[in-house]
A and B are shown apart, each in its own frame.
Chain A
Amino acid sequence: MGRQPKTRRREYEYHPWSTYIQAREEARRRGDRTIGTELLLVALLSDPALASALGTDAAQARTALDELDSESLVAIGMDPPPEVPPLPAQDLQTVPARPTFKMVLHKHLRLTPCAKRVLSESSRGMRRGHSHPGPQHVLEGLLELREPDPAAELLAKLGVQPGVVRERLTDA
Chain B
Amino acid sequence: MSINELATATTSDDPVVGLRAALALRRLAERVETSQVAVARSRGWSWQQIGDALGVTRQSVHAKHGKEP
A residues touching B (Cβ–Cβ < 8 Å)? 30-33, 68-73, 75-78, 82, 84-87, 106-107, 147-148, 150, 153
Is the CB of B53 closer than 8 A to any CB of chain A? no
Interface residues in B28-66 by Cβ distance below 8 A to A read 28-32, 34-35
Residue contact A76 to B34, C-beta cutoff 8 Å: no
Q: Which of B6, B20, B32 contacts A69 (CB 8 A)?
A: B20
Chain B 1-38 interface mask (CB, 8 Å, partner A; 1/0)? 10001100110011011111101111111111011000
- Classify the interface of chain A: helix, strand, loop or mixed: loop
Residues of B close to A153: CB separation below 8 A? 16, 20
**In the bound complex, what is the Cα–Cα distance between A76 and B18 (angstroms)?**
7
Contacts A76-B13, A107-B68 known; A31 to B26 CB distance under 8 Å? yes
What is the number of contacts between chain A and chain B, taking CB atoms within 8 Å?
Answer: 66
**In the bound complex, what is the Cα–Cα distance between A107 and B64 (angstroms)?**
9
> In angstroms, how far is the closest chain A Cβ from the Cβ of B67?
10
**In the bound complex, what is the Cα–Cα distance between A150 and B23 (angstroms)?**
11
Residue contact B6 to A72, C-beta cutoff 8 Å: no
Q: Which has the most chain B C-beta neighbours within 10 Å: A30, A31, A147, A153?
A: A31
Residues of A close to B23: CB separation below 8 A? 69
Contacts A31-B27, A68-B20, A73-B21 known; A84 to B13 CB distance under 8 Å? no
> In angstroms, how far is the closest chain B Cβ from the Cβ of A100?
15
Residues of B close to A106: CB separation below 8 A? 68
Residue of B nearest to A33 (CB): B30
Residue contact B18 to A75, C-beta cutoff 8 Å: yes
Q: Which of B9, B29, B35, B68 contacts A76 (CB 8 A)?
A: B9
Residues of A close to B20: CB separation below 8 A? 68-69, 72, 150, 153
Residues of B close to A68: CB separation below 8 A? 20
**In the bound complex, what is the Cα–Cα distance between A73 and B10 (angstroms)?**
10
